[in-house]
Amino acid sequence: MRVSDRSAALVLCSGGQDSTTCLRWAANRWQEVYSVAFDYGQRHRVELDAAHTVASMVGVVEHRVIPVEALKLLAGNSLTGDTAVGNVLEADNGLPNTFVPGRNLMFFTLAAAWAYQLKVSHLVTGVCQTDYSGYPDCRQQTVQAMTMALRTGMDYGFTIHTPLMHLTKAQSVQLAQEEQALELLAYSHTCYNGSVPPCGTCPACKLRERGFREAGIADPLLQRLASEGTV
Ligand SMILES: [Zn+2]
């Protein structure tokens, strides 16, 4: 199986807290970093702007936004539709109504397709199975299976790095501090409702708030907005 000897990585960067931390983590380890975000008609379009901003701050070689129109047609849940986002579990499967079936699987495949062209074998993603809402596509088992599928299907020696996989949200914040990612996190976006300043009540906002509080670190996003007089 072919594998690249380039010191380069491609980060799946949504502009959120976790993938922004991973962007810095990758920039600290590889000479060249690329980043990719996906436009699937998400209601929080502000996160695409956040992804672009943090990618520029890190100095990626290239940041690309890949349109995934198909998800908008297929998903129809609260991240793409008009329903308000709450901490709601679907009755039929017990998954949060923010779960978009197949989303991460498509993202991995599309990212790998670009990485293949770039001759980059390292993919980095912020998925985490510890503190998350039970998304099945964020589990270690899914990432392992995906790695095998990509290696086999493209005959290329991909490695998917998941530095946050087994960390709590507080530990992720501590890692962000160690990796000097707090400056970037001031420009990351988390709120499911796409609010700036963050709404503070959606599950994503609550999880972020708890993570920073338990880590004993002030959220640099709120600090930045306060200094700008936004909050
Ligand atoms: Zn929110």
Distance 213 CA to ligand 1 centre (A): 16
Distance of CA 128 to the CA centre of its chain: 10
Provide the pLDDT for residue 192.
Answer: 85
Confidence (pLDDT) at 213: 97
Distance 32 CA to ligand 1 centre (A): 33
Mean pLDDT of 54-66: 98
Q: What is the pLDDT of residue 72?
A: 77
In this structure, which amino acid lies at residue 28?
Answer: N
Burial of 166 (0-12, 13-18, 19+ CB in 10 A): exposed
Q: Which residues surround ligand 1, an ion (CB under 5 A)?
A: 191, 193, 198-199, 202, 205
Distance (Å) from CA 86 to ligand 1 centroid: 9
pLDDT score recorded for residue 66: 96
Q: Which CATH architecture has domain 8-227?
A: 3-Layer(aba) Sandwich (3.40)
State the pLDDT confidence band at 203, using cuts at 50, 70 and 90. Answer: confident
Distance 190 CA to ligand 1 centre (A): 7
Residue 41 is predicted with a pLDDT of 80
* 142 confidence band (pLDDT: 50, 70, 90): very high
pLDDT tier for residue 95 given thresholds of 50, 70 and 90:
low
Separation of CA 44 and ligand 1 centre (Å): 10
pTM, to two decimals: 0.90
Q: What is the mean pLDDT of residues 172-197?
A: 94
Residue 100 or residue 219, greater confidence: 219
Give tens-digit pLDDT for 6-55: 899 999 999 999 999 999 999 999 999 999 999 988 777 898 999 999 99
Average pLDDT over residues 84-98: 56
Q: How far is the CA of 90 from the centre of ligand 1 (A)?
A: 20
Mean pLDDT across the chain: 89
pLDDT at 5: 80
In one-letter notation, the amino acid at residue 21 is T
pLDDT bucket at 189, cuts 50 / 70 / 90:
very high
Q: pLDDT of 112-137, one tens digit each? A: 999 999 999 999 999 988 865 678 88
d(CA 152, CA 25): 27
Dihedrals phi, psi of 180, to nearest 5 degrees: 60, 45
What is the whole-number distance in angstroms between the Cα of residue 191 and the centre of ligand 1?
Answer: 4
Q: Determine the distance separating the centroid of ligand 1 and the alpha carbon of 209, expressed in angstroms.
A: 10
User: Percentages helix, strand, coil for the chain, rounded to the nearest 5?
Assistant: 45, 15, 45
Judge whether residue 155 has pLDDT over 70: yes
On the question of pLDDT at 99 being above 90, the answer is: no
- Identify the CA nearest to 154 among candidates 7, 34, 3, 33: 3
Which is more confident, 78 or 191? 191
Distance 152 CA to ligand 1 centre (A): 39
